[in-house]
Amino acid sequence: MTSGVLVLVRHGESEYNAEGRWTGITDVPLTAKGRADARRIGTALRDLAVTRIYVSQLKRTVQTKDGILEVIGAAGVQVRKTAALNERDYGDYTGLDKWGVKRRVGDEEFATIRRAFDAVIPGGESLRDVFERVVPWYREIVVPLLAAGENVLIVAHGNSARALRKYLESVGDEDMKDLEMDFDKICLYRVDAAGAMVEAQVRRF
């Protein structure tokens, strides 16, 4: 039996994104560009009958969902919030200017902080920590819906999306440094019984 479609997107540009600051769990809103991009995501998904949407507890994913629903319509769509999808907690780096940190710690350490799977953030989370909360939630809640033929949209953050993609796409720990989740990227998957990718498609808007 063919599964439903899993759609994974990142929220639109937030105020901290625009300022080049580490956002983490700070609850900042979208910019005007971010709200417009949410509507563009909706336009790119008009051909897909989404039945469920999951967002984090942070307003930038909620506002992105709102923009998508403006375009595709909310009739028959169930929406749920979950802490499992929250952005990585950047601890002591939260709110800091990313490029100022890069100048201070150097290119290699900066890349490690941002992208390495096991990088330890003082007072915060590693990407592994995010993976260990996102994947069990996905397997318990989302996979059965996909198996039942539902089309599920997840509006996540840069790191919660990367953590889920690691599982879906069987990405190795060392290769995570090269895995990005851009704002304009829409990932669509059909999955097997364990929730791992069988087919994938990428759309850009």
* Per-residue confidence (pLDDT) for residue 82, from 0 to 100: 98
* Per-residue confidence (pLDDT) for residue 102, from 0 to 100: 95
* Per-residue confidence (pLDDT) for residue 6, from 0 to 100: 98
CA atoms within 13 A on the CB side of 198: 14
Positions marked active-site: 11, 87
Rg (CA), the chain: 16
Contacts of 148 (CB under 8 A, 6+ apart): 4
Q: Within the chain, which residues score under 70 in pLDDT?
A: 1
* Per-residue confidence (pLDDT) for residue 133, from 0 to 100: 98
Strand order in the sheet with 6-10: 78-81, 52-55, 152-156, 6-10, 185-191, 197-204
174, amino acid identity = E
* Per-residue confidence (pLDDT) for residue 136, from 0 to 100: 98
* Per-residue confidence (pLDDT) for residue 159, from 0 to 100: 98
pLDDT tens for each residue of 162-177: 999 999 999 999 999 9
* Per-residue confidence (pLDDT) for residue 120, from 0 to 100: 87
pTM higher than 0.75 for the full model?
A: yes
Domains of the chain from N-terminus onward: 6-204 (3.40.50.1240)
